Amino acid sequence: MNQNPSPKTSVFNIAVIVAALGYFVDIYDLLMFSIIRVESLKDLGLSPDGVRDQGLFIINMQMLGLLIGGILWGVLADKKGRLSVLFASIILYSLGNIANGFVQTVNQYALIRFISGIGLAGELGAGITLVSELLPKNKRGVGTSLVAGIGLSGAVLAYFMKQHFHWRICYFIGGGLGIMLLFLRIKVAESGIFREVKESNVAKGNFLMFFNNADRFKRYILSILIGLPTWFVIGILVSFSREFGKHMNVQGEIDPGKAIMYAYVGISLGDVAIGLVSQVFRSRKKALYLFYGLTIAGMIWFFNLNGASTDEAYWACALLGFGTGFWAIFVTMAAEQFGTNLRATAATTVPNMVRGSLNLITLLFTGLQASYGFVQSGIITAVVILVITFIAAAFTKETFGKDLNFVEV
């Protein structure tokens, strides 16, 4: 295998731009339910307790879809190609979000979010893999960070759409944006590294290969565990900031949609910043440790909002977002850990395993509430996750500047 990306390839090439726009639409659709959770469930006739409990059920169904979709699209991306997955997944989640605009019951809502979750699972991993393989290794981290940084700002658009349109119209807009993106995808070329492997006899997209070799299994599990704080912060702390605010006597009611918008502005800026930081440090791990520290600072601020204003709560969410703005780097690290025949499977399943881990994190968080208060349960859950994450990061191999022209056997 001797086909390498040209060293002259710009980080602003068509693949990076289209991957970034694809992730922009993906994040818009992924976060839309969290942003309009309260309004949409009230509109369906639920009580405040129902908004909280059924909202958590629907989020978990969406995350389950992401978990299943992550495996499905990852395998297909390594067997059929990165572009084929980018096309198929966006069709599924675009149609799913249009269907969400017509739901009338909680069960319908949950089912469609589950189907949409399957579609949403394919966007980031396939996009990051394609960009990683097309860009030279000295620009890879910046390119993938731009994809995430631009893409994550889709949450900001989702919040502003919620401010001006009925929640059903917001879903229709998301579906329409996805359909429009399909036309841009036509101009993107497939990865040359993948084309060479596709013509070989090496096993491609075999998900079980992550479990039949001790070293590969270790690399895979560690790739997942280093990303755990991201969805704990968004799925629990920020999404349920309204409930946390009530328990901490925040002065005024926190709008979870606005909290998510603040957090995702922070995440978007963080994802661009960490790419640049990793270039300066010439290390993915050192940049990761720096952002773990910022995440801890954000958590300390968030859990000490007793009697604070809603504005302070939103800024705490923004710092939490910036600290967890290592989404692109940890997915890039997953892509760099594995050979071309398993790279897309790794890069697609790893972030969705992290998203899917929200189901287990939720069980811990809610289970603790039988013995501890709402806020105390959040603190204990945070400590458990951070301990696991730091141990995983310590055992993860550095991947900065790694040559991607290899296969898993």
Q: What is the DSSP string of 343-402?
A: HHHHHHHHHHHHHHTHHHHHHHHHHHTTTS-HHHHHHHHHHHHHHHHHHHHHHSPP-TT-
What tens digit of pLDDT does each residue of 158-202 get?
Answer: 888 988 999 999 999 999 998 888 887 777 766 677 777 877 778
End-to-end CA, the chain: 15
How far, in Å, are 131, 136, 175, 283, 290 from residue 141 at the CA level? 10, 10, 30, 10, 16
CATH class of 14-185+205-395: mainly alpha
Query: Does pLDDT of 322 surpass 50?
Result: yes
What tens digit of pLDDT does each residue of 212-222 get?
Answer: 999 999 999 99
Assign 3-state DSSP to the chain and report helix, strand, coil percentages, each to 5.
75, 0, 25
Please give the pLDDT value at position 7: 44
Amino acid occupying residue 32: M
What tens digit of pLDDT does each residue of 104-147 get?
Answer: 999 999 999 999 999 988 888 888 888 888 888 778 878 888 88
CB 34 within 8 A of CB 170: no
Nearest of 266, 301, 317 to residue 379 by alpha carbon:
301
CB 93 within 8 A of CB 26: yes
- Beta bridge partners, 309, equal 251
Please give the pLDDT value at position 228: 95
What integer best gives the mean pLDDT of the chain?
Answer: 89
Query: Does pLDDT of 206 surpass 80?
Result: yes
Contacts of 182 (CB under 8 A, 6+ apart): 87, 90, 91
- Beta bridge partners, 251, equal 309
CA 225 – CA 123 distance, rounded (Å): 21
Contacts of 375 (CB under 8 A, 6+ apart): 244, 247, 248, 303
Please give the pLDDT value at position 238: 94
What tens digit of pLDDT does each residue of 83-110 get?
Answer: 888 888 888 999 999 999 999 999 999 9
Q: How many Cβ atoms from other residues are within 10 Å of residue 104's Cβ?
A: 9
Ranges of each domain in the chain: 14-185+205-395
Confidence of residue 1 (pLDDT cuts 50, 70, 90): very low
Confidence of residue 56 (pLDDT cuts 50, 70, 90): confident
Please give the pLDDT value at position 403: 85
Please give the pLDDT value at position 314: 97
Query: Does pLDDT of 73 surpass 60?
Result: yes
| % of residues, the chain, pLDDT over 90 | 50
Amino acid occupying residue 92: L
Query: Does pLDDT of 260 surpass 90?
Result: no
CA 346 – CA 337 distance, rounded (Å): 8
* For the chain, counts of helices (H) and of strands (E): 19, 0
